[in-house]
Structure 1
Amino acid sequence: MREFSLPALYEVPADGNLTDLIRRNAAHHPDVAVVARKVGGEWQDVTATEFLAEVRAVAKGLIASGVEPGDRVGLMSRTRYEWTLLDFAIWSAGAVTVPVYETSSAEQIQWILGDSGAVACVVESAAHEAAVESVRDTLPALKSLWRIEGGGAVETLRKLGADIGDEVVDERSAIANADSPATIVYTSGTTGRPKGCVLSHRSFFAECGNVVARLKPIFVTGESSVLLFIPEAHVLGRLVEIAAVLAPIRLGHVADIKTLTDELASFRPTLVLGVPRVFEKVYNGARAKAQADGKGKIFDKAAATAIAYSEALDTPAGPSFGLKLKHKVFDRLVYSKLRAVLGGRATHAISGGAPLGARLGHFYRGIGFTVLEGYGLTESCAATTFNPWDRQKLGTVGQPMPGTVVRIADDGEVLLHGDHLFSGYWNNEAGTAEALSDGWFHTGDVGTLDEDGYLTITGRKKEIIITAGGKNVAPAVIEDRIRAHALIAECMVVGDGRPFVGALITVDQEFLPRWLAEHGKPADATVADLREDPELLAEIQRAVDDGNAAVSRAESVRKFRILTTQFTEDSGHVTPSLKLKRSVVVKDFAGEIEALYQR
């Protein structure tokens, strides 16, 4: 099949913007808890009426500080209540939110705030504030900087806007129309410089409205809840934020993923959204604990039963009587405890950002916790396909979102069409023209559609690496920096579907003799002789550290392997123009890559 679409289930407003949602909630669900925040270690509900009032108060401060309609405002923080509050306040002031990952390097901060022309920025911590201040002299448009922790950004803005009336905010809120930019989300590109994806209010209405409508049984106002723990700087985090407000359902935030298990137990969400790495950690953690308690064999048998049970659900006959009996026993012994780790109430999860894997999908469905895998990009406002709650096909990334079209080009590339798409890259007409053609977005991914319109991603035309945690990594930035070291001939970043970024490194044979002499090494020593030499490893580490300085922690190289061979045209690893043939390197050095990820 070459093309598939489903009719829209949600009517995108002809006009208006996302601030209409919080006013609608206050009018129609005034006493419903739409957000929850941690106060003194306890969850405190915020009703629709209270949330609207808090958003207005902060928006008044932004207006009083000089933020004008259409201005860009940076927001650099971990996921927390204030992120959602500030996001809606920025829109209520008529401005555009520019997310900045809280792990971003000073260079990345400078580029994002500078390229977007941000006039103001809210950061979370003193470290974030120092990072912005370190490049502030290169940001002439940046007039205001507020800090949440220790700086009382929210309270400061409330006080700034104390003399501004509600009618001023309401006027500002009405300025942006459906096609006005809501946010500029910077995503990694193959050239190294992050590209600013301009997503309109219409994009989010189309995206979130149709997601909620298709998954309606798990988005029930007054009953359902979701705990957001992925970065709100990521477009997938924004999907959760806005979909929860649109539904509306109760939304909680977790800033530190290290406390996720405790937060799940206390918040008890009915819906969980995460990246595959989260679900892998839950599985691996449970298995490790079982082994430590001497129950490893029981856990492994339970896991095998869960997978077999889920696989049998897809057969005409279904699970056998014996399999059902084993499943029931393990449900009492193992599965119920695993569901308790996930809060005890959730029956479904949505996974995106990277491939989940059929085996893990079957395991979770087998324990009574169905993970619905989806696929999307920043340019498609997060999900563009996902598995419906009632017609899941494990191993696929689901059907097109209602109201959108997926097409497979002649070369296998996945093309997208719909209101959810971005309008272009900020300040980048060439990039926009390359990505958007006749209303179709060229994803750079390769895939197939089955007879029911379910998409399977089989590869990527572009070179972006996506880690198991869903982080997009552009290899060029860090590779170029590491390669700049005189001792390094070539560097190739790896980590697709892996827990962290690693690198394969070759040593420059022309510079090696000089380095050997300077460090008192035998003149005839080879790279193979010195592969584990502490001084050589330390020298390479310094180059890696320099490369890591240009990227965020999530994109940084954690481990590297020094290769004893070279990447050359003769070896088939580089093109005549000396570009790496990544797929060939990955294939030929699969053993070295595996070694990077062995414990």
Structure 2
Amino acid sequence: MQKEFTRPLEEPIDSDSNVFSVLQDRVHRKGDLPLIQYRSKQGWCTMTAKEVQDKVVDLSKGLIARGIKPGDSVAIISHTRWEWTVLDLAIMSIGAVTVPVYETDSPAQIRRILNDSHVVMAFLEDEEMKTKVDLVRSQCAYLDDVYVISRGALTTMTAYGNGVSEEDFQSRVAAVRGDDLATIVYTSGSTGSPKGIELSHGNIIFTIRSGIQAVPDICLGPDRRLLLCLPLAHAFARCLQYFAIGTDLVLGLTGSIKNLLQDMQTFKPTFILAVPRVFEKIFNAASQKAGTGTRGRIFLDAVKVARQWSRIQQEGGSVPMALRAKHVMYTGTVYEPIQEALGGNVQYGISGGAPLDDGIAHFFNGIGIPLLEGYGMTETMGPVAVNPTEGYRIGTIGLPMPGITVAIDEEGELCIKGPDVCLGYHNHPEITTRQIRDGWLMTGDLGSIDDQGFIQLTGRRKEIIITAGGKNISPAVLETAVQSSPVISQCMVIGDRRPFIAALITLNLDEANRWLQSEGAEPVGSMTEAVANPIIRTEVERAVDAANAQVSQAESIRRFRILDEDFTQEDGLLTPTYKPRRKDVMERYRDLIDKEIYTGTSTDSPRLPVR
């Protein structure tokens, strides 16, 4: 290894216990206080820690009654909701294995996962999910029981458990140890076919306890509240679910990102976890609300002041008096209203899943809501690095979690070693041998580590573009910058073995119309109209030019094409964390790329018309 850095534990962590013990500890500490809150038609409903535990025990007994044995796989296919959480805990508590499936997965994807992990029982959210499973149920060799949550599945399972004694339940719980398999989580497959990651109870326990040592002021103490909107099938979101149970946090669960701002205003979180696209949407919503004219100019200046203040703060310098005065002025007129729109109590945001644009990070930092960028993998059950609340550094993914060693190998790849590293890849020993070497998990990400242990990512090995001229380019910087535009949904940079760099760009029709109206222009009625709209085209040009200003000429986007459709999870072009599935996108638009972007061109050709 070129360089290694270990962040020591502040106190030892005993990982030889099971996930149910984390819930038991919460009940012992704060049993009568809220643990979970969820949205209903009447507003936010509350479940105490004791009520959650009672439901978990009842469901566990039902699973035992239905013949679920230690090691059996049970799937959950549902949006984020409280039933997901208690089912997950119930399955793992008795030594069975939770297999989460994204609610957006196709029937074919569901069949593959259920067969690969030998799922014997599945819990489905509603009739839509049941229809998907019904299409392939006859092809699922191990699947016996299917229960639908909206049809009263939890009530049914609880009734089954009435005949199971407390002693039988406790004996099953006591037999579950830290090195036992807890869950098989399938990767989103952004760079290939999804693989099942085997994670143990000990992996989960360590991540919870290490997280507490990393950011205690976020999760310990009175009135700590986390709002979770990401799908619980994703390892990062699910890890934060366990983290909330193991700390003092009240866990707010919402199944839709569409109502996030309204949910934040009523739930009033003290910190939020989201992917960068969510923070970009919040910023764009504030910008569009300001509109044009005097209010728009004031907002733009307030953004500039916030970013300037943040950069000086990050450099450890002294803020000039004039800038300080403007910052104080905008705090009351611009910054505090944005904070109130987020519920008024947000102290920190944690961003992960994709690179965070520096401009967005500096803006939020400048208005008093630091976005602590972190990093994790499905293979580590969530975060392995996060910025500290004191001394955080924008542009890095922070320090390794306590008890974890990070390193950069001879080829510049980030490697991880620690008790959070998974057991292996399900049914793929050859991948396990290749990806986990002498205890080191090979992440596939390129980066550097400074002397204080802060990690900076520079690209991803599988996504590095090597142009025909031999230039190595990481697309992440360009894509992140372009996507900061309020009208742009996705940007995917291309150019591997090609003469120059190009990009495929998609629009968000709703956001584009809001932006048009904020600019005093008429909205458009369709995606086709949006692509042809000269105002939108000019904004896309601006975003591309701004991104190109961050890189050398050889790395810049020479041509781009705005597509008349967005990438979606439903069409298989987008992962649940809003990252394009590069291989699938390339296949879908192969003719456009070959015949329109790269036909009869040279590296000096002007950009294609934006249409």
TM over 0.5: yes
Paired letter, 1:147: V
| Cα contact 1:33–1:222 (8 A) shared by 2 | no
User: Partners in 1 of 2:112 and 2:575 — Cα distance?
Assistant: 13
User: Partners in 2 of 1:423 and 1:459 — Cα distance?
Assistant: 26
Query: In the superposition, relative to structure 1, how do residues 198 and 493 fare at CA in structure 2: closer, same or farther (>3 Å)?
Result: farther
* Residue in structure 2 matched with residue 253 of structure 1 by the alignment: 253
* Residue in structure 2 matched with residue 315 of structure 1 by the alignment: 315
The alpha-carbon deviation at position 591 of structure 1 amounts to 5.1
* Residue in structure 2 matched with residue 29 of structure 1 by the alignment: 30
| Cα contact 1:108–1:551 (8 A) shared by 2 | no
* Residue in structure 2 matched with residue 329 of structure 1 by the alignment: 329
Query: In the superposition, relative to structure 1, how do residues 104 and 309 fare at CA in structure 2: closer, same or farther (>3 Å)?
Result: same
Worse-matched range after superposition: 27-36 or 400-409: 27-36
Let me know the Cα RMSD of the aligned residues.
Answer: 3.3
User: Partners in 2 of 1:381 and 1:179 — Cα distance?
Assistant: 14
What's the CA shift string for 1:382-440, capped at 9, x where partnerless?
21111111010111111111100110011101111000111100010011111010000
| Cα contact 1:92–1:170 (8 A) shared by 2 | no
* Residue in structure 2 matched with residue 117 of structure 1 by the alignment: 118
* Residue in structure 2 matched with residue 270 of structure 1 by the alignment: 270
User: Partners in 1 of 2:507 and 2:60 — Cα distance?
Assistant: 41
User: Partners in 1 of 2:252 and 2:280 — Cα distance?
Assistant: 22
Count the aligned residue pairs: 520
User: Partners in 1 of 2:572 and 2:276 — Cα distance?
Assistant: 27
User: Partners in 2 of 1:101 and 1:73 — Cα distance?
Assistant: 14
Query: In the superposition, relative to structure 1, how do residues 162 and 12 fare at CA in structure 2: closer, same or farther (>3 Å)?
Result: same
User: Partners in 2 of 1:127 and 1:588 — Cα distance?
Assistant: 51
| Cα contact 1:105–1:552 (8 A) shared by 2 | no
* Residue in structure 2 matched with residue 134 of structure 1 by the alignment: 135
| Cα contact 1:354–1:497 (8 A) shared by 2 | no
| Cα contact 1:79–1:253 (8 A) shared by 2 | yes
Worse-matched range after superposition: 553-562 or 95-104: 553-562
Paired letter, 1:66: G
What's the CA shift string for 1:45-81, capped at 9, x where partnerless?
2111111111111111111122111111111111111
* Residue in structure 2 matched with residue 548 of structure 1 by the alignment: 571
Worse-matched range after superposition: 376-385 or 330-339: 376-385
Secondary structure at 1:462 match in 2: helix
Secondary structure at 2:248 match in 1: coil
**After the TM superposition, which residues 377-388 of structure 1 pair with which residues of structure 2 at under 5 Å, given as runs?**
377-388=377-388
The alpha-carbon deviation at position 330 of structure 1 amounts to 0.4
User: Partners in 1 of 2:431 and 2:424 — Cα distance?
Assistant: 8
| Cα contact 1:108–1:550 (8 A) shared by 2 | no
| Cα contact 1:103–1:552 (8 A) shared by 2 | no
TM-score, length of structure 2 as denominator length: 0.79
Secondary structure at 1:314 match in 2: helix
Residue 224 (str. 1) matches residue 224 (str. 2):
yes
Mark the runs of 5 or more structure 1 residues left unpaired by the alignment: 476-491, 501-539, 573-586
Secondary structure at 1:548 match in 2: coil
What's the CA shift string for 1:228-265, capped at 9, x where partnerless?
00111111101110100011310010111111111111
Paired letter, 2:592: I
User: Partners in 2 of 1:493 and 1:59 — Cα distance?
Assistant: 53
| Cα contact 2:35–2:47 (8 A) shared by 1 | yes
Paired letter, 1:140: A
**After the TM superposition, which residues 495-506 of structure 1 pair with which residues of structure 2 at under 5 Å, given as runs?**
none
Worse-matched range after superposition: 189-198 or 28-37: 189-198
Residue 562 (str. 1) matches residue 592 (str. 2):
yes
The alpha-carbon deviation at position 563 of structure 1 amounts to 3.7
Query: In the superposition, relative to structure 1, how do residues 396 and 497 fare at CA in structure 2: closer, same or farther (>3 Å)?
Result: farther
| Cα contact 1:92–1:169 (8 A) shared by 2 | no
Paired letter, 1:35: I
* Residue in structure 2 matched with residue 57 of structure 1 by the alignment: 58
Secondary structure at 1:258 match in 2: coil
**After the TM superposition, which residues 163-178 of structure 1 pair with which residues of structure 2 at under 5 Å, given as runs?**
163-178=163-178
Paired letter, 2:78: S
What stretches of structure 1 move > 3 A for 4+ residues in a row? 188-192, 463-469, 492-500, 544-561, 563-572, 587-592
Paired letter, 1:116: S
TM-score, length of structure 1 as denominator length: 0.80
Residue 103 (str. 1) matches residue 104 (str. 2):
yes
* Residue in structure 1 matched with residue 211 of structure 2 by the alignment: 211
Paired letter, 1:57: D
Query: In the superposition, relative to structure 1, how do residues 190 and 352 fare at CA in structure 2: closer, same or farther (>3 Å)?
Result: closer
The alpha-carbon deviation at position 101 of structure 1 amounts to 0.6
User: Partners in 2 of 1:545 and 1:167 — Cα distance?
Assistant: 48
| Cα contact 1:203–1:422 (8 A) shared by 2 | yes
**After the TM superposition, which residues 456-535 of structure 1 pair with which residues of structure 2 at under 5 Å, given as runs?**
456-463=456-463
User: Partners in 2 of 1:72 and 1:112 — Cα distance?
Assistant: 11
The alpha-carbon deviation at position 97 of structure 1 amounts to 0.7
User: Partners in 2 of 1:550 and 1:372 — Cα distance?
Assistant: 28
* Residue in structure 1 matched with residue 241 of structure 2 by the alignment: 241
